[in-house]
Amino acid sequence: MSEFKQTFNSSLGKKLIMALTGLFLCTFLIVHLGGNLLLFSDDEGYGFNMYANFLTHFPPIEVIAYLLYLSIIVHALYSLILTIQNRKARPVSYAAVNKSRASWSSKNMGLLGSILLLFIVIHMSDFWFSYKYSHKIGFKEYRTDLATGKTTSVDYVPTAPDFEKSVSTENNIEIVRVKDLHARVASSFSNLIYVIFYVIAMGAVAFHLLHGFQSAFRTLGWVHRKYTPIVCFIGTWLFAVIIPLGFAAMPVVYYIQSLK
């Protein structure tokens, strides 16, 4: 037990934990982007609102969510600890300028991580906290004609203070009443300053993952002549390009729509 504790208290142990939590967060990004793409559905927010309700009321997902929050805290904390340890180990900077071929992202992981941590705090406060613990989120009622599949929506005011969601059927009409997080998203993304900050944060995600995804595999020792190029390809195109662009497109599209 003492050897196990000593291993994970070492610099290498901390890097291993950062690698594992980082890869877990990368997996979350794929799932989160898939769900958030529902924002582009032309259904008055129905799909996205149902997705948000599912995330906050399905017990297994809630357990994973708390593991996610823990991973974010641990990843950020260990990053700070390693940065401080590295500076203590080299309190005086080199007289010569570092001309190594290390990428800009690898040299600025601390800055990128700080931007992302600030973004996560603001983002969760604006959406997750408001959705679960405040009364800033309204409700929507969706009526779907089961014969034609046509759906209409109106704002809904629940009578019960603890109301979350209801599904019923009347005269071949499905009635769904659910929290309207979609309206909150549309409101936030109509703010230009918020949109700019969101896009900058997605740029930080891109550069952070450009280095971090590949670095995690190297830390874990998963380096192979045959598979390393595949890891580099996935890290570059999926995590540093496609995913950040997908997230950044959401506030931009909603802001443009708010100007019409």
Q: CB–CB of 202/244 below 8 Å?
A: yes
Among 250, 108, 104, 117, which residue's Cα sits nearest to residue 188?
250
Query: 134-193, pLDDT tens digit by residue?
Result: 888 999 999 999 999 899 999 999 988 888 899 999 999 999 999 999 999 999 999 999
- Taking the CB of residue 232, how many other CB atoms lie within 10 A of it? 14
Query: Which amino acid is located at 191 in the chain?
Result: N
Among 143, 117, 156, which residue's Cα sits nearest to residue 43?
143
Sheet holding 151-156, edge to edge: 151-156, 139-145, 173-179, 165-170
| pLDDT greater than 70 at residue 101 | no
* Element holding 5 (H helix, E strand): helix 2-9
Structure tokens, 85: 């340890």
Quote the mean pLDDT of the chain: 87
Q: Report the distance separating Cα 159 and Cα 148, nearest Å.
A: 30
**pTM of the predicted structure, to 2 decimals:** 0.86
Q: Report all structural domains of the chain as residue ranges with CATH numbers, in order of start.
A: 2-90+106-138+180-258 (1.20.1300), 139-179 (no CATH)
Q: What is the predicted pLDDT for the residue at 239? A: 94
Q: What is the predicted pLDDT for the residue at 36? A: 94
Q: What is the predicted pLDDT for the residue at 95? A: 47
Q: What is the predicted pLDDT for the residue at 9? A: 65
- Taking the CB of residue 215, how many other CB atoms lie within 10 A of it? 19
Across the range 1-15, mean pLDDT stands at 66
Query: 67-79, pLDDT tens digit by residue?
Result: 998 999 999 888 8
Q: What is the predicted pLDDT for the residue at 8? A: 58
What share of the chain in percent tops pLDDT 70?
A: 91
